[in-house]
Structures are given as C-alpha cells and as structure tokens.
Amino acid sequence: MSYKPENQYRCTIIRGKSQSEVEDLLPFYAQTVHKNCPCTKEEFDFRCNKQLAKFFFGNEDYDGLTDANKKTIRNHITEIMGKLLGLYYTTLEDMVYESESCSFLLSKNDFPAFFKNICLNFQFPNFADKFQTLNDRLQNKINIRPMCYVVAFLDYARKQTINKAITKQEIGYYILNNLDVLQGNVSVEVVYAQIMSDRKNKIKREKLQGSYDWQHIKEQFNLLELANIVETDAEYIWLNTKEENSIKLFIEKNKETLFDFYQYNFNSENEKKQAKADWTLYFGKLNSEITKAETQFTESPQISELKKEKGSVGLSTVELGDKGEAFVYRMEYERVKAYKERLVNKVLLLGKTKGLGYDISSIEANENPSKPEFARYIEVKSTTRISEPSFDDNWSDSLNLTSKEWIAAEQYGEYYNIYRVYFTKKKTIVIKINNPFKKAEENEIEVFPTIYQMDFTAKVIKKQYEENV
C-alpha cells in the first residue's frame, strides 16, 4: 500500500448553491419532479422547462427566454435536480421516474436525512461528469466513497490519545485531492500518521485555494454539513457528536463495495447507456438505515419543558410531526397565558385525535383583539433543515394536506391556520398561513390533488385469483 501525499489528483463534483439556497429550492425541486413523473424524457423536459421558467423568470415561455436564461434552467434540471440531488432517474426507454430519496424527502420533510443519503451514495467515479472525465477516472482506477472516508478518518482522529484538530486544508490535500486515497488503497490510519508526521517535522504542503483547486473540496464539505454529520469553521472540520448513529453508518458504508463501474465495457455504446441508467437509479436509492436515524439538533426549551409534564400530551421523541405539534402547543399555551391565564384551558393538543383536520385548538387572544375568545384551529406541518429559510424571492416551500385537513380549511375559513415549523440547527422558526382555502381560491397558493380514492363494488370485478394457504 503506497501513499504519497504529493500524488495529487482532482476529482470534481457538480457545483451546488449555498446551504441556504439549496435548502430553499429543495422543496420546489422535489415537488416539480413529483408532479411530472412518471413521464417520457421529452415530456419531463418540456414540463420542467415551463415550470422553472415561471418560477425563476415569471413567465412559462421557455422558448422566449435568452440563451443564458435557458442554460440556467437546464442546469437546475439536469445538473442540480438530477446529477447532484438524485431526485429522478431515467431508464433506457427514456422514461423519467421520481427517485426513492425524492419520495422520502416529500413524505418525511427531513432535509438532513435526505443529504445523508446523498453523501452515503456519492462516490468517485460517477456519472455526474461527461464520459471523457469519467473515462479518466476509470483509467486512474478511482474507487472511493469520499464522504464516508472523511467521516471514518475524522472518527479515527478524534479517538487518538493526542487528539489534535484536523483542518479543512488537511482533509482536502491529504484525502480528497490525493490519488492514492481516491483509488481506495490507503487506510485512515496511514493518512493520520502522515499528517501527524508532517506536523511534527514542520513540512508545509501545497495550499489548495481558488475556484479550480478548492471548489470541489468545499462542495463535499457543504454536503456533509447539510447532512448534519460535520461542523466547520473557517479553518477546522470535526464530527457532530450528536449524530453518533449516523457516524457509525457512514463508517460501515466506507467498507462496503461501491457501484461497480468496472463491470461495464465502455467501448460499447449500449453498455455506456446501460451504465448511465443503472447509475441514476442507484444514486436516488434510499438507504433503509436513513429512516431509522433521527436528525439530532439541540432540543428546544419548549419541548424540554413539555417532557417534564409527564404523559400530559403523549409526546414522542422520535416523530418529527409530534415534535412540531409539541413546539406549537407550548408556544400557543404561553401566548394565551400571557393574554389571560384563565383561558389556557382553551389550548388543546389534539393531534392524536383522528378525523378533526387540525392538530391544536386555541383561541385568537391578543392577535385578534375584537374577537379574542374565538376559536383558532391549527394544523402543524414540520420540517428539519440545517440553515434558516431565507424567505426571499427565490424561496418556496410545499407541504401535504389530507382531504380532512383541506375540508377543515374550507369549513373554518379565517380561523383555520397552518403553522409551518422549521427546526434548524440554530433556532426553531414558525410561520403562520392564515385561511389557506381562501388563498387558494385567490391563486395566492397552488393546491393540487396527489391521491385519488377509488371506491368500487363487486359488480366491477372481472376475475378473481386465489391460492390456498
């Protein structure tokens, strides 16, 4: 096993946006894929072009855009939605389908878990690059899950007797830009020993900087931060110790076989196409372990306080929805208490009561002085993300409502509210959307059905199949 730190090799990845921009656009990307799939690639491109043209430039006329704006839209669709985020995959028959990870994101609203899945699946080589670049990776025998390797390395480093902080430059130079490591031939122990030896002997290595030499390193750090696996400052990088279960999973995946590009004959156009189809399907696959690992942020005071009330609301420590309801319940309780303490019994957490169409009943109190004791019906929708929502012109969000929730929105009108809870790394943010049914009628929000209920009787049965047990 040979390891030379100076044996440098540059492996690029698709450039994303800033953390906040990626998370702001993620719901829009995912819903765009969900609305349009499955369909042919031609239909997918046509529909997505129109929808992104309207979202970014205020007009569905994609063909009427400038070439630069068209290129921007195509980069969003192919580079970010497809190659970087793996929200959809394309078959050999040119059919486009929503990926498992996209479906998971829309159902669970756990952004860090989604990015954990990306980091686990990501590898070099991959099909994010053009074939010429991919072929160079194959010729150089590149074969690594880089982000899993980084986690395994940081885990080893923190367990050493002399636990010295690791810099981002060291990870970049000694690991993510080193050919020997990228070939999968060097253990984390060897790399750590080399870094410590160079420090001791005061050996200065080349500093990676600038867009060409540093951007591909920075992008991988960014994904790991979005996954809530690492934390960084201007110079150092370290593991997020609240995510020990996920860290163990990354270390296990570092030892597993990768998607095998070397099984294909890339001199054959048919095998090239097959490899690309297989890769896009693989990259959007959901690691089942992800669904078991809850994203760990610092617990909010509201939830901590609620847990002290033993069994009073049946708070689950696992379900994101329960946490959101608990947070809003405590927030409403304190708001009403500050208005008139005798009215706090009007604040009820009813999320476990089926069929209501809302999670919490409260009262208007100080927010509606003319009708303070009128009922307020609250449906809570929660999501987890690393950064705070920007709420700027390019920000968007989406959520799913049941038919009962939408009926309740119509029934209660101005007294029905959706509280959208954002659990972020540094704070919890709640926004209120009042009277969503009216806003939909006035085209301020878009609502469309995603599930169709089919009721039928025995008259329509054409044939019945049975097998004895």
pLDDT in tens, 318-340: 478 889 999 999 999 999 999 99
Nearest to 399 by CA among 413, 416, 419: 419
pLDDT digits over 406-460, tens only? 999 999 999 999 999 999 999 999 999 999 999 999 999 988 877 777 888 888 8
pLDDT value of position 8: 97
The pLDDT, as a whole number, for residue 451 is 73
pLDDT at 317: 37
pLDDT recorded at residue 289: 87
For the entire predicted model, the pTM comes to 0.89
Write the DSSP assignment of 133-148 as a string of letters.
Answer: HHHHHHHTT--B-HHH
Three-state SS string over 105-117 comes to HHHHCEHHHHHHH
Residue 296: predicted pLDDT: 66
> What span, in angstroms and rounded, lies between the C-alpha atoms of 165 and 170?
10
pLDDT tens-digit series, residues 149-204:
999 999 999 998 666 799 999 999 999 999 999 999 999 999 999 999 999 999 99
CB of 53 closer than 8 Å to CB of 65: yes
Side chain identity at residue 55, one-letter code: F
Element (H, E) at 232: strand 230-232
Digit-coded pLDDT (tens) for 66-94: 999 999 999 999 999 999 999 999 999 99
Bridge pairing between strands 375-384 and 416-423: parallel
Q: In DSSP terms, which residues pair with 40 in a beta bridge? A: 95
